[in-house]
Amino acid sequence: MSRVILPEPDRAILARRESIVADLTRLVGSQAIIADEIGRRAYETDALTAYRKLPLAVVLPSTTEEVSRVLAYCHRWGIKVVARGAGTSLSGGALPAEDAVVITVSRMNRVLEIDYVNRVARVEVGITNLAISDAVNAGGFFYAPDPSSQLACTLAGNIGMNSGGAHCLKYGVTTNNVLGLKLVLVDGSIVELGGPHLDAPGYDLLGLIVGSEGQFGIVTEATVRILRAAEGARPMLIGFDSSEAAGQCVAAIIGSGIIPVAIEFMDRPAIRVCEAFAKAGYPDVEALLIVEVEGSDEEIKALLDSITELAKPFDPREVRVSQSAEQSAAIWKGRKSAFGAIGRISDYYCMDGTIPLGKLAHVLVEISRICDTHGLKVANIFHAGDGNLHPLILYDANNAAEAEKAERAGAEVLELCVAVGGCLTGEHGVGIEKRDLMRVQFDASDLEQQMRVKSVFDPSWLLNPAKVFPLQGRPQAEPKPSVAAA
């Protein structure tokens, strides 16, 4: 898999590698630099492993000031920079470049302040997503966005990609849960945006930066909302004979005025693999919904009874309410480990388009048709409440022709998502993977306006190079500062 073209590295920068490493070492100390080849190998890719590039050097700063010094240096000499959290990006968002310095914030993982009264926490963004919830769990609180990789992924990456998760149907995605940021700009200057109050003053720079995929600067600290957890939560399983019936059931639930905290969908291939892995008691049906509601025991029972009634017209094959905390945990374990479980039986290419819910049945049929055409199998898992699809296209990574077919099939699936009124990516980001598909969703003036905003923050286009925006049609970057000064 390697259809996406990456630019040739800047030979002048490559030639200066040793002196750049020496300079960086002076700036942050040798304990914060990885320069040897074996060490750098660990950073050559992310969760989109088909693409690999050995970075020029890796910097592991411990403070915002260190990030600032490194960025100021790189900016002065026109050296590209790739920001990295835990490297769990499924879209190649953290893929390095041979002529770029990787700055990873993974050592900056402290909780700085927990303020239960104002329901916010201030953290360094190298903290993992789950560690935020763990830090406030004792107070009965949690941090809402919950990507499946939450055990490993950092808040830094969540901010970069505006990550979602299974429970964002009720609680929103990252951008809805971040109130403040400390951001290092490409020239090394540090700005603070927002804080423990709601709605930062002036233009919504927070909103622009969350989801900017490391294109606008490097975030080092964040103030996030923490929420008081509900008294309880319980999932139920509803199995159907067809995806169409499952989709209609989702519409009926939402149309009734009930907003569950999560509605997840799996098709038969996904159910079988997940069941084999997690022993969650998933029924062997064509389509399965996991619906979770929250509240007191009595409220939960009332809501689940209502949902059971709402499902009846769609002839559910099986309706099963979790009877214990263990069962609930197993149900979620199966879903949250789905990617890993499928990865045990096959290589896969994970797509992330979002569609209007009403198009679900049509889109699922078309996805099967597309994959059939390419001779590939597909397992479908998605966040049904918000139409965010994750078709997993199965292929053999050791078979170059098949890998290319998988990538082509994936592109066709995303084109389909856009054609029915959806988008290329609901939560994984554009990264390298969907860069060249951006013109499917956006026309020239849309992209031009986005790139003008990119240039506001990064006039010389040094940050996270060759991603998000198609290479053709990019603006002429401002001359590198060092060149301009000469």
Partner 1 sequence: MLSDVRPVDEREVARILREAGQAKTPLELRGGGSKHNVGRPMTTSMCLSTRALNGITLYEPNEMVMAARAGTLLIELEDSLAQRGQMLAFEPTSLAAVCGAEARSATIGAVFATNLSGARRITVGAARDHLLGVRAVNGRGEIFKAGGRVMKNVTGVDLCRGLAGSWGTLAVLSEVTFKVLPLPEHTETLVLLGLPDEIAIEVLGSAMGTPFEVSGAVHLQGAMVARLEHQGLAAQGRSVTALRLENFRRSVVYRKAKLKAHLKAYGEIHDLDHDNSLALWQELRSLALLANSDAPLWRISTAPSTGPNVVAAIARYMEVSAFYDWAGGLIWLEIPPTTDAGAADIRRVIATHGGHATLIRAGAEVRGTVDVFQPLEAGVEVISRRLKAAFDPAGILNPGRMYADF
CB of 453 to partner 1, least distance (A): 5
CB closer to partner 1, 140 vs 473: 140
User: According to the binding rule CB under 8 A, does residue 244 interact with partner 1?
Assistant: no
Footprint on residues 133-172 left by partner 1 (CB under 8 A): 140, 161-162, 164, 168-169, 172
The length of the chain is 486
Of the candidate residues 61, 316, 391, 426, the single one contacting partner 1 (CB under 8 A): 426
User: 185: which residues sit within 8 A by CB, 6+ positions away?
Assistant: 71, 191, 217, 457
Q: Cβ–Cβ contacts within 10 Å for residue 310, how many?
A: 20
Residue 446 engages partner 1 in binding (rule: CB under 8 A):
yes
Tokens of 76: 């002065």
User: What beta strand segments (E) does 158-303 contain?
Assistant: 178-184, 190-194, 218-225, 227-228, 233-240, 262-267, 287-294
3-state secondary structure of 101: strand
Closest CA to 408 of 438, 370, 364: 370
- Cβ proximity to partner 1: between 177 and 328 the closer is 177
Q: Are 269 and 391 in contact (CB under 8 A)?
A: no
Piece in contact with partner 1 (CB under 8 A), picked from 57-65, 282-290, 291-299, 343-351: 291-299
Binding segment (CB under 8 A) for partner 1, from list 15-23, 39-47, 52-60, 114-122: 114-122
Number of residues that bind partner 1 (CB under 8 A): 94
Residue 307 binds partner 1, judged by CB under 8 A: no
Kindly state whether residue 283 participates in binding partner 1, applying the rule CB under 8 A.
no
Output the CA angle 397-398-404, nearest 5 degrees: 55
Of the two residues 328 and 441, which places its CB atom closer to partner 1 in the complex? Answer: 441
Structure tokens at 185: 């700009």
User: Residues 192, 305, 309, 478: which binds partner 1 (CB under 8 A)?
Assistant: 192
Nearest one of 262, 177, 263 to 227, comparing CA atoms = 177
CB atoms within 10 A of CB 438: 17
Residue at token pair 């397992």: 379
Q: Is 42 in the site for partner 1 (CB under 8 A)?
A: no
Q: Which of 168, 313, 321 is nearest to 249 (CA)?
A: 313
C-alpha distance from residue 315 to each of 54, 119, 309, 364 (Å): 54, 43, 11, 19
Question: Which residue stretch of 11-19, 23-31, 80-88, 430-438 sits at the interface with partner 1 (rule: CB under 8 A)?
Answer: 430-438
Answer yes or no whether residue 112 interacts with partner 1 by CB under 8 A. Answer: no
The SS3 of residue 45 is coil
Closest contact distance (angstroms) between CB of 367 and partner 1 is: 16
User: Is residue 458 close enough to count as binding partner 1 by CB under 8 A?
Assistant: no
CB of 33 to partner 1, least distance (A): 28
Q: Which residues pair with 191 in a beta bridge?
A: 183
**Cβ(467)–Cβ(432) below 8 Å:** yes
**Residue 92 is a binding residue for partner 1 (CB under 8 A):** no
Rank residues 174 and 402 by Cβ distance to partner 1 and give the closer one.
174
Identify the residue among 23, 65, 134, 299 touching partner 1 (CB under 8 A).
299
What pairing do the DSSP bridges indicate for beta strands 57-59 and 100-104?
parallel
Q: Please tell me whether residue 26 binds partner 1 under the rule CB under 8 A.
A: no
CA 254/CA 263 separation, integer angstroms: 10
Sole binder of partner 1 in the list 159, 185, 218, 245 (CB under 8 A): 185
The region of 186-194, 276-284, 368-376, 402-410 touching partner 1 under the rule CB under 8 A is 186-194
Counting beta carbons within 10 angstroms of the beta carbon of residue 123, is it exposed (0 to 12), middle (13 to 18) or buried (19 or more)? buried
Which range touches partner 1 (CB under 8 A), out of 19-27, 48-56, 128-136, 423-431? 423-431
Phi, psi at 20, each rounded to 5°: -65, -45
Q: What phi, psi does 420 have (nearest 5°)?
A: -90, 10
Please select the residue that binds partner 1; options are 453, 478, 479, 483, rule is CB under 8 A: 453
> For partner 1, what does the binding mask look like between residues 384 and 403, x meaning CB under 8 A?
-xxxx---------------
* Contact string (CB under 8 A) for partner 1, positions 320-359, x = contact: ----------------------------------xxxxx-
Nearest approach in angstroms of CB 149 to partner 1 is 15
Nearer to partner 1, 173 or 403 (CB): 173
Sign of CA dihedral 149, 150, 151, 157: positive
Smallest distance from the beta carbon of 29 to partner 1, in angstroms? 27
Q: For residues 96 and 84, what is the distance between their CA atoms, to the nearest angstrom?
A: 9
Please identify, among the stretches 14-22, 271-279, 370-378, 444-452, the one whose residues bind partner 1 according to the rule CB under 8 A.
444-452
In the complex, the smallest distance separating the C-beta of residue 449 from partner 1, rounded to whole angstroms, is 5
Site string for partner 1, 200-239 (x = CB under 8 A): xxxxxxxxx-xxx--x------------xxxx--------
412 binds partner 1 (CB under 8 A): no
